[in-house]
Amino acid sequence: MSLRGKTAIVGLGMTAMGRNFNHSAPLGFAAEAIQRALADAGLSRDDLDGLLYSPGVVAADQINGAFSLQQMMGIKNLRLTAMMVAGGASAGAMVMHAAQAIAAGMASTVACVFADAPLSPPSAGGGRSSDNFGRAQGINATYGMFGAASGYAMVARAHMHRFGTTHEQLGTVALAQRAWANLNPDAQMHDRTLTMAEYHSSRWISEPLHLYDCCLVSNGGICVIVTSAERARDLRKPPVYVLGMGQGHPGGDPVQTLSCGAPIAKRTAFAMAGVELKDFDVVQLYDCFTITVIVTLEDYGFCAKGEGGPFVTGGRLGPEGTLPLNTGGGELSAYYMWGMTPLSEGVIQVRGEGGKRQVPKHNLCLVSGNGGILSTHSTLVLGASV
């Protein structure tokens, strides 16, 4: 049985993003996001019989997060619950799990939520406000290589060496997404423009990656509510149908392959949806780093492997470009909620709720998720109709 169009996203709940200290732990942001998503859909807690939770980098109260969240909110009689951890691919994986369960009759209405709180309020002594990250360990860290930035820096350096990709091309991705963020009032960088000179002069994070090659750090939470297509038609907001879905986890060394899991994931998702790349009106790609966007564009087939650098030039990705990509500003300039960043903007665009950044044609949207160092991948095809 095909799952094409059997389910739809009917609720979207988003907290304020960035230096948001309204909650002391991720579960508080998760609960707020669920409440907002239910209100958006015109549903109540009693309508939920599924709860899927993806934790971020903060370990506090996350081990039994789904159960703790259920208890915190007083949700009764769940038929489906789980913690889902696939890095930035988790958001897409949660929607897939929810859709499969609903199609199998094992749940009817499922909340899929991500929350994180890596930022701490500034201390009285002026201390750092990002103290919740774990400390790097192991032999790589001993020699100065730790964290995602170093891993993606190796990918970027290899791409530059093998294909001639330039800093200017990486910067073009950053500038395009900042231009979209300047149209998004909910973006952390909404009121801050970015020039190429500012990009080049920004400090190194891990060479060859500058500050603006790297995603933001955000406190917050995002939830989507998934239910059957039949029920979706009677709810408050226009349904965003899940037309196709797939996962791809390639294994191997990404510095050698310079590839992510998109070629595997898209094969399943595109076949289910019955679409080709040329059919998409708007694209939301996971963008933890600028090089991630270039590699992912290549792997979906927007251009050949190695041609991602030249492909992103000429204003193609920005508000006046021919490929509307990461139209809310993405993780580079809007907010970093892992795979929920591209998913939330995909829902907004398909609904036609993007305001100044709304793409005129928005019937079909591609959403990607990516985890690890190009290690895990999810693909969703979202549509305004079946």
In this prediction the pTM is 0.95
How far apart are the C-alpha atoms of 280 and 206, rounded to whole Å? 34
At residue 128, the pLDDT reads 52
How far apart are the C-alpha atoms of 129 and 119, rounded to whole Å? 5
At residue 82, the pLDDT reads 96
300 catalytic per annotation: no
286 catalytic per annotation: yes
Of the candidates 255, 252, 249, 250, the residue with the CA atom closest to the CA atom of residue 159: 255
The answer to whether 368 touches 331, Cβ cutoff 8 Å, is no
At residue 137, the pLDDT reads 55
Map tokens 């060496």 to a residue.
Answer: 161
Which amino acid is it at 129? S
> What average pLDDT does the segment 218-234 reach?
97
For residue 51, report the phi and psi dihedrals to the nearest 5 degrees. Answer: -145, 115
Beta strands in the chain (DSSP E): 7-14, 50-55, 80-83, 109-116, 204-206, 209-210, 220-228, 240-248, 282-284, 364-371, 376-383
Is residue 129 over pLDDT 60?
A: no
Specify the pairing of strand 209-210 against strand 7-14. Answer: unpaired
Helix, strand or coil, per DSSP, at residue 369: strand
- Long-range CB contacts for residues 69-72, cutoff 8 Å, separation at least 24: 69/27, 69/30, 69/31, 69/34, 69/113, 72/27, 72/31
Segment holding 199, helix H or strand E: helix 196-201
Structure tokens at 106: 């094992």
Question: Can you give the residue ranges of every domain in the chain?
Answer: 7-120+217-232
List pLDDT tens digits, range 154-190. Answer: 999 999 999 999 999 999 999 999 999 999 999 999 9
**Residue 279 has what DSSP assignment?**
G
List pLDDT tens digits, range 85-107. Answer: 999 999 999 999 999 999 999 99
Helix, strand or coil, per DSSP, at residue 236: coil
The catalytically annotated residue of 53, 152, 300, 336 is: 336
Indicate the pLDDT class of residue 343, thresholds 50, 70 and 90.
very high
Is residue 36 over pLDDT 50?
A: yes
The catalytically annotated residue of 53, 212, 241, 286 is: 286
> What average pLDDT does the segment 302-326 reach?
97
Superfamily of domain 7-120+217-232: Thiolase/Chalcone synthase (3.40.47.10)
